[in-house]
Copies of this chain bind each other. A is one copy, B any other.
């Protein structure tokens, strides 16, 4: 069981903690899937992409196990599902990232994250006004990215 090369400091031990608390086993397969999500936080893969990537690296992991493990990681609070408007889930590392959202380019499909402190404060304020206790949120902004706007003008 090797350490992830680019894992966030702390994230790995969170996974370990979760596994220990839930009396779940630490397996090679789970580590591989975990690393696939955490090593490149800008990718936002779906289950099929994780599966394909692992296969192409020579790891014989089944799609069923990818789904099982992703579900596990979502329940553990380490990973969040992400709706890019494609009708199925993508995944990204982390949960409870206040003020965090995504730009999704409708032309090229690129996804770009952003983080904004005002947004967090704003949502807290709106929630409080409604008597609503905010746990997490999901914000997607669809439009055209800088590059695609440039191309369109040419």
| Chain B residues with CB below 8 A from A103, complex form | 127, 130, 132
Contact with B along A121-135 (1 / 0, CB 8 A): 011001100111111
| Chain B residues with CB below 8 A from A118, complex form | 122
Q: Is the CB of B132 within 8 A of A122?
A: no
Q: Is the CB of A137 within 8 A of B132?
A: no
A17 close to B (CB within 8 Å): no
A13 close to B (CB within 8 Å): no
Copies in the complex: 2
Contact with B along A107-141 (1 / 0, CB 8 A): 00000101010110011001100111111111111
Q: Is the CB of B143 within 8 A of A134?
A: yes
A144 close to B (CB within 8 Å): yes
A20 close to B (CB within 8 Å): no
Q: Is the CB of B127 within 8 A of A134?
A: no
A146 close to B (CB within 8 Å): yes
Q: Is the CB of B135 within 8 A of A143?
A: yes
Partner of A138, one of B126, B127, B133, B139: B139
A14 close to B (CB within 8 Å): no
| Chain B residues with CB below 8 A from A146, complex form | 130-132
Chain B min CB distance to A147 (Å): 8
A145 close to B (CB within 8 Å): yes
| Chain B residues with CB below 8 A from A116, complex form | 122, 126
